[in-house]
Chain A
């Protein structure tokens, strides 16, 4: 507690990927920095730090959240899942397989956030249309792919991809 009564550090306990994590952090610490720097979970990335690009997307109490727009202090008591935990428990497996098969990632920097966002869509709607997929991931920036392969991969994971799953996409 500082002289003016404003806490510069706070104690937080967060359930991260099913494990209880307690740390004393700066009050200004963002959730994404907490995950990356305090817990060592570097699979979640920081791309813009102002809530636009979606690279820092994680699950907090079941909701998709931008890790750069939430403070670690706000996550006290919450259940947080990152790409590492969701990989270990198999939640993302179908999407991950489809992303690899369809080459729906290039540099991979947006991919953890993209997968978590796509998983959120499939949890709400098992059979989304291409337009719904595009709309749902439209807050996640990908500079590499042009998005089509990602849309294809989400369709593949949902089992709705038309014309089987020719890995080359729409190539002639």
Chain B
């Protein structure tokens, strides 16, 4: 039996409606339970001594003074843990030629970046553990530092891992069409170099783990703030030499993640290894200062781009040369080559391009490791592409909207294979563009801009079309050999009172996963949402799954829950038909009761059915199946990824005297397929936009030539705060994926994907009368003034 999801006036038609998240009330009352709120008997605390050098030999560690401090229990070095926890090498088989070096939980003999954990001090409290770490005497011998990615491959640059031969982690070139011909015959060729600043996630809850190894059961229980409990289970089991079944990961409330909490971190692995040695709970809660050097960074790219257009405004070619420095190790197990690979896959994505060539070069250096962070590669690809489109429009003397109209893949062209090789099932670039222009009042804004410019007020309008990769299949990681599930599952159970329990492999970090699952299951079974309880984040009880990344929670986890709900519904109706001497097709479940499908007459509440099944099963036919529980899984198979699309616009005002950029308004129209909860989707978009604005305007991990991170605190590393952020208008076009009954694609990263490009184009639109152009993020006042010729270029160009 199918459900018409477009029919929204039925009882329990929650899909498509804004309903509050069931788990929000506890959070506003401070009753969430984050890892640091969990207290186990005999817990000890660990603090890590981190390398103050970007590259140094560790000649010795003297722990005598540390051990003498009352309350300090143990000190561990890399040598102490290297036999407890095996090193890992983060490569993926499908990324041809990729290489990295073995990484230990604690540095063994050599530290490779400022912030790498070198020794662990275990104490009765975190404060005493920090006292102990401060008392450690480490004989560091500084080694030559490879900081600049531009020279990482030069012959005179030291090779960081001798056994690898050079500092190249990965390179890939994709080429299609006849580039040489396109550039030779172009009416205009535009060129530019873009830099996206290295930044980090700054989750308000720092990374947290409480590891509890119970020797009597050979059981490791990890209370972890993570997006991917099963991946954590698998990785920790492997490197601590435990059967997967002996590692349980429990993930309660998580204080933000955005891709930061989906990786294997050496300090977290060390914490579990120490628990294994000590046989008692060990808690590690990163503090903010160490988070800046120990969390993954992202987005450090230099991209050279060339674009050819003909005289009709048709883009005929795009050429991309991407360089990125990922730190001294590829991050486990997703690897640090994915971001560069995404740049290759995503540049030019919204456009109908005849020829395209892109190369990424991924190099190693002595900075914090980089890896996947919200909208992996998208903000880079989008900024470069959209920056080039605006440059081409300027060269043609054409309105940037008109140039996009002439080049966006037509809405009736799907299925469509892009020049990058990416396959699109169905996108809506033109419908989204039309809706955006109408929503923002584009023509009026242009008139206002001109009128204000005559008064010396410099406003700019920036547009950015984008695609977003969501709902990944095993083509993302599984084919490369990583034990990261692309499939996800859900179990739905009806209890005697007719209430439902949903167990899901996708996880909640605040985006509303549990609310979404409750909506989907309530509708697919036919019960009031308040009778549905959702449980996520426990590898021992939930179906095996991938967790939350690549915007897969609704599209994959929701699709599995929808199927499980339908299966349970069928089971319930089967039993009801036997009880009521009816047939399944004559019955329905509506509002928590069995009803006659034809008349709508209530036949039996689910609570009565539950009572009989659970307590008076003797009254039912002996051979009747009475499974009040169903599990279903979902995996995408027709397409490697479900791409979404959208378009953003930014309105800014640039103070050409101070270089300050004021964000006046932001718009986004996006198409994530079927919208399950409009409010949750809108807030994902808004939060994502602001995260993108942070990278565009404020956030940068500033390194010295010696590889020192110079702004590793929240006073110096700026993040978006309320007073600087604009109001954002969000709109939708819905092109459901045909792959699942639910039709949902992902929405979590679209905001971040397009916002930096939109604001960059807006700034450049504002300052166009002056001839300068910003292309290096973040667009600080100093950089804006530099391109206006008012101050020296802080980047020395």
Contact = CB atoms under 8 A, between A and B. Distances in A.
Given A53-B204, A171-B678, A172-B439, A106 B256 contact: yes
Interface string B190-210: 000000000001111110000
Nearest to A88: B29
B687 A146 contact: yes
A143 B287 contact: no
Interface in B424-468: 435, 439
Nearest to B22: A100
Nearest to B691: A143
A42 interface: yes
A51 B480 CA distance: 44
Interface string A99-121: 11101011111111001000000
A87 B30 contact: yes
B690 interface: yes
A167 interface: yes
Contacts of B732: 171-172
Interface string B677-713: 0111011001111110000000000000000000001
Contact of A50 (B204, B288, B680, B691): B288
B727 A42 contact: no
A96 B27 CA distance: 9
Interface string A75-97: 00000001110010000100110
Contacts of A149: 683, 686
Interface string B728-751: 111110000000000000000001
A36 to B, nearest CB: 8
Interface in A122-172: 130, 133-135, 137-151, 167-172
B752 to A, nearest CB: 10
A146 B686 contact: yes
Nearest to B202: A143
Interface in B215-261: 253-258
A112 to B, nearest CB: 5
A145 B32 contact: no
A88 to B, nearest CB: 9
A55 B204 CA distance: 8
Contacts of B21: 100, 103
Contact of A84 (B30, B201, B288, B689): B30
Interface core residue of A111, A133, A167 (most chain B CB under 10 Å) = A111
Contact of A47 (B28, B205, B722): B205
A134 B722 contact: yes
A100 B729 contact: no
A105 to B, nearest CB: 6
B20 A138 contact: no
A171 B687 contact: no
B730 A109 contact: no
Nearest to B685: A146
B1 interface: no
Contacts of B435: 172
A172 B24 contact: no
A140 B714 contact: no
Contacts of B650: none
Contacts of A103: 20-21, 24, 512, 679-680, 683
B94 interface: no
A143 B203 contact: yes
Contact of B25 (A83, A100, A112, A167): A100
B715 interface: yes
B255 A87 contact: no
Contacts of A130: 727
B34 A50 contact: no
A148 B510 contact: no
B29 A43 contact: yes
A170 B691 contact: no
A45 interface: yes
Contacts of B28: 87, 92, 95-96, 99-100, 105, 108, 111-112, 115
B103 interface: no
A26 interface: yes
A32 B736 CA distance: 47
Given A143-B203, A170-B728, A82 B722 contact: no
B637 interface: no
Contacts of B253: 107-108
Interface in B93-113: none
Given A82-B30, A96-B28, A147 B725 contact: yes
Contacts of A100: 20-21, 24-25, 28
B3 interface: no
A54 to B, nearest CB: 9
B27 A144 contact: no
B109 to A, nearest CB: 32
Contacts of B34: 42, 45, 109
A24 interface: no
B511 interface: yes
A141 B714 contact: yes
Contacts of B713: 48, 50, 52
B714 A52 contact: yes
A107 B727 contact: no
A46 B205 CA distance: 8
Given A142-B204, A148-B727, A50 B714 contact: yes
Contacts of A99: 24, 28
Contacts of B29: 43, 83-84, 87, 96
Contacts of A148: 686, 725, 727-728
B723 A134 contact: yes
A20 interface: no
Given A47-B288, A100-B28, A138-B723, A143 B256 contact: yes
B271 interface: no
B714 A53 contact: yes
B256 A138 contact: no
B31 interface: yes
B729 A172 contact: yes
B223 to A, nearest CB: 14
Nearest to B714: A52
Given A43-B31, A105-B28, A169-B682, A144 B719 contact: no
A49 B285 CA distance: 12
A133 B722 CA distance: 9
Interface core residue of B25, B27, B724 (most chain A CB under 10 Å) = B27
Contacts of A151: 722, 727
Interface string B531-564: 0000000000000000000000000000000000
B510 A144 contact: yes
Contacts of B257: 107
B512 A106 contact: yes
Contacts of B725: 134, 146-148
A58 to B, nearest CB: 11
Nearest to B731: A172
B721 A138 contact: yes
B722 A111 contact: no
A139 B34 CA distance: 23
Given A42-B37, A148-B725, A107 B18 contact: no
A59 interface: no
Interface core residue of B33, B511, B682, B751 (most chain A CB under 10 Å) = B682
14 contacts: A42-B33, A43-B30, A48-B714, A52-B715, A95-B28, A106-B683, A107-B203, A107-B254, A109-B32, A109-B256, A134-B722, A144-B510, A145-B687, A170-B729
Interface of A: 26, 28, 36, 41-50, 52-53, 55, 82-84, 87, 92, 95-96, 99-101, 103, 105-112, 115, 130, 133-135, 137-151, 167-172
The 6 A-B residue pairs with the shortest CB-CB distance in the complex, in nearest-first order: A43-B30, A108-B27, A107-B510, A109-B255, A106-B510, A146-B690
Given A107-B27, A107-B509, 20 more contacts: A36-B36, A42-B30, A42-B34, A83-B30, A103-B20, A105-B28, A106-B509, A106-B510, A106-B687, A107-B255, A107-B510, A108-B32, A143-B691, A146-B687, A146-B725, A147-B725, A167-B679, A168-B679, A171-B731, A172-B731
